[in-house]
Amino acid sequence: MKHLNFRIAPVALAVLIACAAATPAQAGPNGIRIGVLTDMSGTYAALAGNGSVVAAQMAIDDFGGKVLGKPITLVSADHQNKPDIGVAKAREWFDTQGVDMVNDLVTSSVAIAVQKLGAEKHRITIVNGAGSTALTNKECSAYGVQYAYDTYSIAKGTATALLKQGLDSWFFLQADYAFGAALQGDAARIVTSLGGKVLGTVKHPFPSSDFSSYLVQAQSSGAKVIGLANAGGDFTNAVKQAREFGIKQTIAGLLVFDSDIKALGLQTAQGMKFTTGYTWELNPETEAFGKRFFARFHAMPTMVHAGVYSSTMHYLEAVKAANTDNPEAVMKKMRDTPVNDFFAKGGRIREDGRFVHDMYLVEVKTPAESKSTWDQLKLLATIPGDQAYQPLAEGQCPLVRK
Amino acid sequence: MAALPQHTAARPQLAATLAHPAVQWFLLLLAGLGLPFLVYPVLAMEMLCFALFASAFNLLMGYAGLLSFGHAAFFGTGAYLFGYASKMLAFGPLASLACGTLAAAALGVVFGSIAIRRQGIYFAMVTLALAQIVYFALVQAPFTGGEDGMQGIPRGMVFGMFDLQGEQTVLGQTAPWCLYLLVLVLCLAGHALIARLLASPTGLALRAVQDHEARARSLGLQADRIKFWVFVTSAALAGLAGAMKALVLGLASLTDAAWNMSGEVVLMTLIGGVGTLLGPAVGAFFLRYLHHALAGLGGWVTVLIGAIFVICVLLFRRGMVGEWRAWRGAARV
């Protein structure tokens, strides 16, 4: 019996040869190749996903499709939010496809893993999708940039704005995993540093669909603000249930995307304040980009999409200015040149890889204020970049000389 | 079994030589050495890790008739403990691999002593429940990095002379050959261990227990004890596979320990052919390659893999290797 099983060995060889026939041709060392590694099928597909591929292609087209006399090509892949798949794909891109830069990188675990790989292989990685501050602290890289936002800046913008209105006592609902803990920790520090009080925190499993007991606890704490240190489906569920309970306290989302507002609907979400790095309603320039993107993708861009466009453009400009695709030279140019486009005014990449640019405090419009399906937000305040992000001195990036 | 030698003796000399186990292992080794020339080397190593994982699972499902739905716990524990030993304790790669394997084996002892008396759906549910406990422990444990995973695990050196990190060029193909050889050898050794175990008296007793447990008991076989040790062996090999994957990719993440991984290994085994020695490996190669080749298609990956699974269940119930064997068997009669 054992013998029979093994007769397959010669067949295994044949299968291997068949596999080889299906392996795509390897790219030459010439030309610039950009990879978009994103979530195309899971939780973050709306927020990043195919929209990021479209944004990167737009940037390449707008740049003219060529740099240093050679064509710019784009590859993309779905990492399914799994770091092992993401890293294997990125490794292959670097090793055999000659990919010079990887963009998007939604999901913190994938982003951290690929940024580490980029540092090892000396390739540039630009994170737009993931918000973990670990990327510019413990895990920072000389070849990595975190571009669109991070959890610190978003939590800080929202917390500061609410404290200014006198909403100074907080109760947190926290998703019980590393991301929730980081978000709650950042927000709680900001609240106490500005003279506010944290009355308590309750942890809920990730993901959850029933928030009733946590909301009751938050309600009975008497805090003026209920801070939601969670994201995506947890966030929208908690908000909906808080509305159904008729909770009067202010609900503050610490990580909110335009796609969440779309999911909640203006009726439920109206009046909510949060911080974002981009929304098309800000000014004529952001609107112009939004409309151009809409024409291609039939949805308005999220801040991740806008970040992918802007950072890809910045990268290509740097290649052109440096007159080489050498990653060290390009990275230096990227750091030395400020970004001035629809996304950022005078934006700069810091030593720890943090791209510092203005953030925006926005409020969700009421259904009466909204003129169209995509008209959701109004600008309350602009938070200057140097106040929005974690100061370099407080960071833990080993690359920063203190 | 008895009819087989006569049958092979009647075949032409070449076929007889090819059928010899030693020749078969050699051919497998050759195929393994050729793999990095055909597919991207890191993918090849990942395929080998999953091949071992699926074979470990198949040892339990195909030969003991126990469907474990918690094998991801062993795979994940192997990966994390390898990472912990290699990164935090600065152990060498071999010692770290041993740590991962032993940790998974120890976990197998715990799981086994709780679950082994159950059968069928109850066994599957108990193992799933235990695996979920392990999953949540890994989410919360301080050393795992939660959902960010454990990153940047060093590959290190073996015996102070073979650099697993660096790349070498062999016959024009640049790849981390030292690492590849280590993974290939360990993967084949794992398979050899399974083959040896099944050919031994214990293996025969195991099959007797699977075929008719009550009868095996009446013959004096200690069914629970045999199943228990096979369970622990399977857990240890799954842990070794997980540890090797962490070594290859340099990271351990919750994907390795999530219940989806337990499902994936069932899928690999079923598509390849349950109860055949090489079936699970073939299934693992096929599915990992598919995942990889289809990654560019985005959201369609899950749909396509689902469709392939449906087709396999409808058309190839015995799995690829199982159907091929049945076809060969039918042709010979």
Weakest-pLDDT range from A105-119, A286-300, B296-310? B296-310
pLDDT value at residue B93: 93
Per-residue pLDDT for B74 more than 60?
yes
Question: Token pair for residue A253?
Answer: 């989302």
The pLDDT confidence band at residue B333, using thresholds 50, 70 and 90, is very low
The pLDDT confidence band at residue B1, using thresholds 50, 70 and 90, is very low
The pLDDT confidence band at residue B11, using thresholds 50, 70 and 90, is low
Decide if A4 and B325 are in contact by the 8 Å CB cutoff. Answer: yes
Q: State the smallest CA–CA distance between residue B38 and chain A in angstroms.
A: 5
What mean pLDDT comes out for the span A229-246? Answer: 90
Backbone angles phi, psi at A189, to 5 degrees: -60, -45
Q: Which helix (H) or strand (E) holds B237?
A: helix B223-249
Judgement on whether residues A61 and A141 belong to the same structural domain of the protein: yes
Is some CB atom of chain B closer than 8 A to the CB atom of A393?
A: no
Residue of A nearest to B328 (CA): A4
pLDDT value at residue A1: 41
pLDDT value at residue A220: 93
Judgement on whether residues A191 and A330 belong to the same structural domain of the protein: no
The pLDDT confidence band at residue B3, using thresholds 50, 70 and 90, is very low
DSSP letter at B170? E
Structural domains in chain A (count): 2
Decide if B148 and A132 are in contact by the 8 Å CB cutoff. Answer: yes
Judgement on whether residues A166 and A66 belong to the same structural domain of the protein: no
Domain boundary among A237, A254, A275: A275
Residue of A nearest to B256 (CA): A84
* pLDDT tens track for B182-235: 999 999 999 999 999 999 999 999 999 988 889 999 999 899 999 999 999 999
CB nearest to B39's CB, from A3, A19, A177: A19
A116 contact residues in B (CB cutoff 8 A): 151-152, 250
Is some CB atom of chain A closer than 8 A to the CB atom of B141?
A: no
Which residue, among A339, A336, A338, A315, has the nearest Cα to A327 in the 3D structure? A315
- Looking from the CA of A188 toward its CB, the CA atoms found within 13 Å total 16
Q: Which residues lie across from A78 on neighbouring strands?
A: A38
What mean pLDDT comes out for the span B267-278? Answer: 90
Question: Token pair for residue A113?
Answer: 């893993």
Residue of A nearest to B27 (CA): A9
In a domain, A402, yes or no: no
Per-residue pLDDT for B5 more than 60?
no
Name the A residues in 122-161 with CB < 8 Å from any B CB: 132, 134, 139
Per-residue pLDDT for B295 more than 60?
yes
Tell me if A239 sits within 8 A of A321, measured CB to CB. no
Per-residue pLDDT for A338 more than 90?
yes
In a domain, A43, yes or no: yes
Sign of CA dihedral A22, A90, A63, A359: positive
pLDDT value at residue B298: 64
Which residue, among B73, B82, B141, B138, has the nearest Cα to B111 in the 3D structure? B73
* pLDDT tens track for A363-387: 999 999 999 889 999 999 999 999 9
Judgement on whether residues A140 and A166 belong to the same structural domain of the protein: no
The pLDDT confidence band at residue A202, using thresholds 50, 70 and 90, is very high
In a domain, A99, yes or no: yes
CB atoms within 10 A of CB A248: 8
Contacts of B120 (CB under 8 A, 6+ apart): B67
What mean pLDDT comes out for the span A208-225? Answer: 93
Judgement on whether residues A255 and A350 belong to the same structural domain of the protein: no
B152 contact residues in A (CB cutoff 8 A): 116, 139
Judgement on whether residues A283 and A140 belong to the same structural domain of the protein: yes
* pLDDT tens track for A12-40: 545 444 444 444 333 335 689 999 999 98
In a domain, A109, yes or no: yes
Tell me if A235 sits within 8 A of A255, measured CB to CB. yes
Tell me if B285 sits within 8 A of B319, measured CB to CB. no
In a domain, A1, yes or no: no
CB nearest to A50's CB, from B25, B146, B298: B298
Is some CB atom of chain B closer than 8 A to the CB atom of A178?
A: yes
Burial (CB count within 10 angstroms: exposed 0-12, middle 13-18, buried 19+), residue B306? exposed
The pLDDT confidence band at residue A340, using thresholds 50, 70 and 90, is very high
pLDDT value at residue A60: 96
The pLDDT confidence band at residue B80, using thresholds 50, 70 and 90, is very high
Per-residue pLDDT for A357 more than 90?
yes
Is some CB atom of chain A closer than 8 A to the CB atom of B146?
A: yes
In a domain, A299, yes or no: yes
Contacts of B275 (CB under 8 A, 6+ apart): B58, B61, B62, B63, B322
Q: What is the 3-state secondary structure (H, E, C) of B293-326?
A: HHHHHCCHHHHHHHHHHHHHHHHCCCHHHHHHHH
* pLDDT tens track for A39-85: 988 778 888 889 999 999 999 999 999 999 999 999 999 888 888 88
What is the C-alpha to C-alpha distance for residues B38 and B289, in angstroms, rounded to an integer? Answer: 12
Is some CB atom of chain B closer than 8 A to the CB atom of A18?
A: no
Is some CB atom of chain B closer than 8 A to the CB atom of A29?
A: no
Residue of B nearest to A20 (CA): B38
What is the C-alpha to C-alpha distance for residues A6 and B191, in angstroms, rounded to an integer? Answer: 12
Domain boundary among A254, A275, A296: A275
pLDDT value at residue A31: 87
pLDDT value at residue B331: 64
pLDDT value at residue A402: 63
| This prediction's pTM | 0.83
Sign of CA dihedral A237, A239, A242, A246: negative
First-to-final CA distance of chain B: 15
In a domain, A59, yes or no: yes
Name the B residues in 295-314 with CB < 8 Å from any A CB: 295-299, 301-302
A290: helix, strand or coil: helix
In a domain, A233, yes or no: yes
Candidates B59, B147, B245: best to mutate against A (most CBs of A within 10 A) is: B147
Residue of B nearest to A131 (CA): B148
Tell me if A38 sits within 8 A of A105, measured CB to CB. yes
What is the C-alpha to C-alpha distance for residues B183 and A357, in angstroms, rounded to an integer? Answer: 46
Is some CB atom of chain A closer than 8 A to the CB atom of B245?
A: yes
Question: Token pair for residue B121?
Answer: 């759906």
B269: helix, strand or coil: helix
- Looking from the CA of A146 toward its CB, the CA atoms found within 13 Å total 30
The pLDDT confidence band at residue A177, using thresholds 50, 70 and 90, is confident
Contacts of B306 (CB under 8 A, 6+ apart): none
Judgement on whether residues A130 and A193 belong to the same structural domain of the protein: no
Q: What is the 3-state secondary structure (H, E, C) of A49-72?
A: HHHHHHHHHHHHHHHCCEECCEEE
- Compute the mean pLDDT over every residue in chain A, rounded to the nearest whole number: 88
Decide if B251 and A87 are in contact by the 8 Å CB cutoff. Answer: yes
Judgement on whether residues A173 and A265 belong to the same structural domain of the protein: yes
What is the C-alpha to C-alpha distance for residues B141 and B128, in angstroms, rounded to an integer? Answer: 20
Judgement on whether residues A143 and A162 belong to the same structural domain of the protein: no
Judgement on whether residues A114 and A98 belong to the same structural domain of the protein: yes
Question: Token pair for residue A177?
Answer: 């995993």
Domain boundary among A317, A333, A357: A357
pLDDT value at residue B117: 87
Tell me if B241 sits within 8 A of B180, measured CB to CB. no
Judgement on whether residues A263 and A328 belong to the same structural domain of the protein: no
A-B Cβ pairs (cutoff 8 Å, strict): 162
* pLDDT tens track for A313-333: 999 999 999 999 999 999 999
What is the C-alpha to C-alpha distance for residues B223 and B226, in angstroms, rounded to an integer? Answer: 5
Backbone angles phi, psi at A265, to 5 degrees: 85, 150
Of the two residues B154 and A5, the one the predictor is more confident about is B154
pLDDT value at residue B293: 81
What is the C-alpha to C-alpha distance for residues B83 and B250, in angstroms, rounded to an integer? Answer: 8
What is the C-alpha to C-alpha distance for residues B314 and B308, in angstroms, rounded to an integer? Answer: 10
Weakest-pLDDT range from A335-339, A346-350, B31-35, B244-248? B31-35
Judgement on whether residues A258 and A284 belong to the same structural domain of the protein: no
What is the C-alpha to C-alpha distance for residues B227 and A132, in angstroms, rounded to an integer? Answer: 45
Weakest-pLDDT range from A256-260, B35-39, B42-46? A256-260
Backbone angles phi, psi at B156, to 5 degrees: 75, -165
CA angle (A101 as vertex; A100, A103 as ends), nearest 5:
160
The pLDDT confidence band at residue B325, using thresholds 50, 70 and 90, is confident
Tell me if A94 sits within 8 A of A116, measured CB to CB. no
The whole domain housing A282 covers 28-149+277-357
- Which residue is it, tokens 């598919």? B290
Is some CB atom of chain B closer than 8 A to the CB atom of A26?
A: no
Q: Which CATH number characterizes residue A172's domain?
A: 3.40.50.2300
